[in-house]
């Protein structure tokens, strides 16, 4: 019988190889770390940190970002003196009304003509931001919540949920919720017959804005909620221009890859430190991939609540 003895140098080589393999496996595991936990109210929460590349998503070319595409926009962000100011002021309902509609404009709700005889309608079935989820999200915000922006409001169902939670909270009764939407629908509304119908087409264009106004009036939120009928990108630029910085932003608009990424960059830049950027439709690949690219390129974490709602917290700087 032969006994094979390994040389000492070979043994050392094998040990080093094994250590190398173990380290490699550990690095791979932790580079796409997902922690899943159940909170007391049984909402499943996953914290996702720094995805190098998600299996579903195309590789990300880091060389081109919105910072390159919108250089003048982002150069303002580098002015540290200016950046020190944002938390000082939160606008009132009247201030935003004046800024958007003009100094002497009459109250938009009081003068609403209701040409299409819209009645309130709460049947929209796709709202995932419930009052209980929004309430839970407010606990993540470190600063007083006075100014909230929703991007993508449609008939107003999620806006009404946000509005009611803030109204019930004794500290936030002076809040303003600005709803930014074209009220012209996203791609999904134009390619799916049932969704097109929900936009209420009349004379060749959607009238869902009218439904939004009817619903806000019926919910008694006319002292707090204001509509801003424009594109998501223009809305973000307007807020930056006017130095209006929300503590919570809820993003539920484009859902198209690339477009969502630009929305993320722009709205992140105007979010107050200590606030949260919340979004819908984590289960849409386009949204999920853009969020993952965004957190990767900005070294952030995203927390996913249930299958739809996610949020990114803007931590105070060290």
Ligand X SMILES: C[S@@+](CC[C@H](N)C(=O)[O-])C[C@H]1O[C@@H](n2cnc3c(N)ncnc32)[C@H](O)[C@@H]1O
**Which residues between 156 and 195 bind ligand X (CB under 6 A)?**
157-158, 181-186
Q: Is 231 in the site for ligand X (CB under 6 A)?
A: yes
Residue of 254, 287, 302, 305 that binds ligand X (CB under 6 A): 254
Q: Is 153 in the site for ligand X (CB under 6 A)?
A: yes
* CB closer to ligand X, 51 vs 159: 159
What is the residue whose two structure tokens read 């608009």?
253
**Which residues between 257 and 296 bind ligand X (CB under 6 A)?**
none
Angstrom distance (rounded) from CA 285 to CA 283: 6
Number of residues that bind ligand X (CB under 6 A): 19
Q: What tokens appear for 272 in the block?
A: 């107050």
Q: What are the percentages of helix, strand and coil residues in the chain, rounded to 5?
A: 40, 15, 45
Residue of 215, 232, 260, 269 that binds ligand X (CB under 6 A): 232
What is the chain's length? 318
Residue of 66, 91, 152, 163 that binds ligand X (CB under 6 A): 152
Q: How many helices (H) and strands (E) does the chain have?
A: 13, 11
Residue of 253, 269, 272, 309 that binds ligand X (CB under 6 A): 253
Q: How far is the CB of 251 from ligand X (least distance, A)?
A: 9
Q: Is 66 in the site for ligand X (CB under 6 A)?
A: no
* CB closer to ligand X, 155 vs 244: 155
How many CB atoms neighbour CB 120 within 10 A? 15
* CB closer to ligand X, 46 vs 182: 182
H or E, element range at 194: helix 193-198
What does each C-alpha distance from 302 to 16, 62, 82, 139 come to in angstroms? 36, 19, 27, 16
Are 90 and 275 spatial neighbours (Cβ–Cβ below 8 Å)? no
Point out which residues bind ligand X (CB under 6 A).
124, 127, 129, 152-154, 157-158, 181-186, 231-232, 252-254
């Amino acid at each position: 019988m032969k006994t094979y003895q390994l040389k000492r140098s070979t043994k050392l080589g094998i040990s080093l190889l094994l250590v190398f393999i173990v380290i490699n496996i550990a690095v791979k595991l932790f580079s796409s770390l997902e922690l899943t936990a159940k909170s007391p109210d049984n909402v499943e929460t996953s914290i996702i940190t720094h995805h190098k590349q998600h299996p579903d998503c195309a590789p990300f070319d880091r060389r081109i970002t919105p910072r390159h595409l919108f250089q003048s926009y982002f150069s303002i962000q580098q002015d540290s003196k200016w950046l020190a100011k944002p938390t000082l002021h939160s606008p009132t309902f009247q201030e935003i009304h004046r800024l958007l509609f003009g100094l002497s404009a009459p109250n938009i709700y009081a003068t609403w003509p209701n040409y299409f005889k819209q009645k309130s309608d709460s049947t929209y079935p796709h709202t995932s931001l419930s009052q209980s989820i929004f309430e839970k999200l407010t606990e993540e915000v470190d600063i007083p919540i006075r100014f909230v922006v929703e991007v993508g409001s449609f008939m107003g169902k999620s806006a009404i949920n946000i509005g009611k939670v803030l109204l019930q909270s004794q500290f936030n009764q002076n809040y303003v919720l600005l709803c930014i939407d074209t009220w012209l629908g996203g791609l999904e509304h134009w390619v799916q017959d049932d969704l097109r119908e929900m936009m209420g087409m009349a004379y060749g264009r959607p009238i869902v804005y009218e439904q939004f106004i009817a619903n806000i009036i019926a919910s008694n939120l006319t002292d707090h909620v204001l509509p801003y009928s424009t594109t998501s990108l223009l809305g973000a630029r307007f807020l930056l221009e006017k130095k209006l910085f929300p503590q919570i932003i809820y993003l539920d608009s484009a859902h198209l890859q690339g477009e969502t990424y630009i929305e993320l960059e722009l709205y992140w830049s105007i979010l107050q430190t200590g606030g949260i950027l919340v979004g819908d439709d984590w289960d849409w690949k386009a949204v999920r991939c853009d969020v993952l690219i965004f957190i990767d390129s900005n070294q952030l974490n995203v927390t996913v609540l249930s299958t739809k709602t996610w949020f990114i917290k803007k931590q105070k700087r060290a």
